[in-house]
Structure 1
Amino acid sequence: MDWDKLRIFHAVADAGSLTHAGEALHLSQSAVSRQIRALEESLNTTLFHRHARGLILTEQGELLFDATSSMNKRLETAAARIRDSEDEVFGELRVTTTTGFGTLWLAPRLGKLYERYPDLKIELMLEERVLDLPMREADVAIRMKEPSQADLIRRRLMNIRMRLYASPDYLAAAGTPTEVEDLASHRLVSQSPTAPQVSAGATLVQWLLSNDIRSTLAVNNYYGVLQAVLCNLGIGVLPDYLTEDFPNLVRVLPEVESSEVPVFLAYPEELRQSKRVAAFRDFVLEEIISYRRQQSDGAAI
């Protein structure tokens, strides 16, 4: 089977359009169309249904696209290994983590990593969905639970807890609660218990809401919760790692907190020798050590 035709087929199937595939491949639409027809003739089958709005794979086309997708991922892995055989750390690194952790903890620290390795190209994918690392949807993941996927190298970074925080201005205006029952006269800012999040946080929010809290604000990620708290809208349920970068936040009801949430870093076994992955891993570990040191110093004070 002609590799060049398969490459063109994959581009067309991925784009759903001869024109868009041609632009990506720097080929004319007619050249792409000829290659697809030749491939269909060689296989004696139809790979696409032609519609006015684009191309849709036939059942046979879907089978071939699955195969070319797998081939493409293997080629990407091989290319990554070849690039990482050099001494310098450079190239693309796809990192996935949750919206809250990525926005509030990781992204603000990446400047230090770029100072060391200015030729890195990091794609930060922030979402609650767990991406498939063995299938190379991402290179590295930082998650709030131990990954269950096989063939992963994983390392526990730290434990976090969800706690109650407010701004000094809010507490000066609304008063500081001294017991959980006092929250009834305050506004609780949190993620909705039904939103994708760690179960420990959802459990804490559900318990707090059972205390007849009259006013609430639900946001679908911790970045939004933090912004609401900083704007003096209420008392927020937030992860404790924020205290390093937002030292003016006041912890409310110190006895109220979630159970521990483990934070793991993971990457595929096949990237064990990747210099880009190693550079990112070591950088995150250094930042975690610094975070833990500041936490210890704060506890001692």
Structure 2
Amino acid sequence: MTFDSRLLSGIGVLSAVVEAGSFARAGEAMGLTQPAVSRAVARLEERVGIRIFNRTARAISLTDEGRRFYEAVAPHLASIEDAAVAAGGTKAAVRGRLRVNTDGTFGHYVLAPRMGEFLNRYPELSVELSVRDRMGDLVADGFDVAIRFGEPEPSSLKARLLLETRVLTCASADYIARHGEPGHPNDLATGHQCVLIRDPSTGRPFEWEFQRGREVVPLTASGRLMVNDTGSLLGACLGGAGIAQLLELYARDLVSQKKVVLLLSDWAEETFPLYAYHHASNLVSAKVRAFLDFVGELAA
């Protein structure tokens, strides 16, 4: 197929629709009517030779072919914008809107408190920070980057390891006064209440594990309270409801301030990884590069 310069304008409309989530909102953002946006997408589908969107009366979604096409062209579109900004002689290459998908633990306790610093660094950039239980479809949902704990699942996305944080076992001083302090991981199996946190991918509690050198002790923790987010886990632990496993990334200050007691410190060598995900391409936009560099600083 010979190059058609009108493809660029159609791809720009496609990007706006994916980011906005509807033809109407994309039109508002671009100063176009909804029918004009719809016609532009239809022309792009005709030129490329695929159906990009599934359309219903209430919603639109990318087809499988449309998703693959968008994943391939979106980084190039961002790079064209970056090149145009650089050619204009401005240093503000990091600009526009950045949409970030993050889990609650990192979003609430690490990222959100430092976003003011990031925005001050790049005054022409705006950020939409979305906290979600699961990453979902980064492309179909219009996100530029995602930050998630846990090992990566098979995906077409590029995954970058940011850090590995230790898993700490903690309880309140009040809980320890009432139930005593365990001396070995196996002591948790009897006479103690553990605060469990639900794994969103399975619906079951996360398994506990204790590591000391090469010795590993798995534990099926039990307790009468299960939560589904870190805020509730922390609240229950601080309130004396039981023993909890917390990530050192956000729990180190609680330990140093003696708000919680670190238990089984000799068995705290298990780590949990934090990954950044973005579209798999060597052409990463300036705003995504800047954000990944900033998160890397937070993780250091």
Residue 270 of structure 1 is matched in structure 2 by 283
Q: Which residue of 241, 244, 259 maps to 2:249?
A: 241
Residue 251 of structure 1: SS of its match in structure 2? strand
Counterpart CA distance in 2 for 1:9 and 1:195 is 35
Counterpart CA distance in 2 for 1:157 and 1:40 is 38
Say if 2:189 is the partner of 1:187. Answer: no
CA RMSD of aligned residues (A): 5.0
1:189-247 Cα shifts (integer Å, max 9, x gaps): 1223x5339xxx6353994336xx4x332222333312221233221111121233423
Counterpart CA distance in 2 for 1:41 and 1:278 is 33
- The more displaced of 232-241 and 104-113 is 104-113
Residue 298 of structure 1 is matched in structure 2 by none
1:144-195 Cα shifts (integer Å, max 9, x gaps): 44686678484x4432222211222333344333343255333211223x53
Could you tell me which runs of 5 or more consecutive residues in structure 2 were left unpaired when the two chains were aligned.
211-216
Assess if the C-alpha contact under 8 Å between 1:189 and 1:225 holds in 2: yes
CA-CA distance at 1:270 after TM superposition = 0.9
- The more displaced of 15-24 and 240-249 is 15-24
Q: Which residue of 78, 103, 112 maps to 2:108?
A: 103
Residue 87 of structure 1 is matched in structure 2 by 91
Residue 204 of structure 1: SS of its match in structure 2? strand
Residue 122 of structure 1 is matched in structure 2 by 127
Counterpart CA distance in 2 for 1:104 and 1:163 is 16
Residue 299 of structure 1 is matched in structure 2 by none
Which amino acid in 2 is paired with 1:223? Answer: G
Counterpart CA distance in 2 for 1:90 and 1:282 is 12
Counterpart CA distance in 1 for 2:12 and 2:293 is 39
- The more displaced of 25-34 and 117-126 is 25-34
Residue 185 of structure 1: SS of its match in structure 2? coil
Q: Which residue of 259, 264, 267 maps to 2:270?
A: 259
Change (3 A) 1:221 1:77: farther
Say if 2:225 is the partner of 1:217. Answer: yes
Assess if the C-alpha contact under 8 Å between 1:140 and 1:277 holds in 2: no
Change (3 A) 1:9 1:168: same
1:34-77 Cα shifts (integer Å, max 9, x gaps): 8899999999xx999997x45879xxx98679757865664345
Provide the identity percentage.
26
Residue 92 of structure 2: SS of its match in structure 1? coil
Change (3 A) 1:78 1:151: farther
Residue 269 of structure 1: SS of its match in structure 2? coil
Say if 2:164 is the partner of 1:159. Answer: yes
Residue 78 of structure 1 is matched in structure 2 by 80
Residue 296 of structure 1 is matched in structure 2 by none
CA-CA distance at 1:13 after TM superposition = 8.2
Superposition TM-score, scaled by structure 2 size = 0.63
Counterpart CA distance in 1 for 2:53 and 2:297 is 51
- Paired positions, count: 274
Counterpart CA distance in 2 for 1:263 and 1:190 is 21
Change (3 A) 1:169 1:88: farther
Assess if the C-alpha contact under 8 Å between 1:160 and 1:260 holds in 2: yes
Counterpart CA distance in 2 for 1:159 and 1:47 is 38
Superposition TM-score, scaled by structure 1 size = 0.63
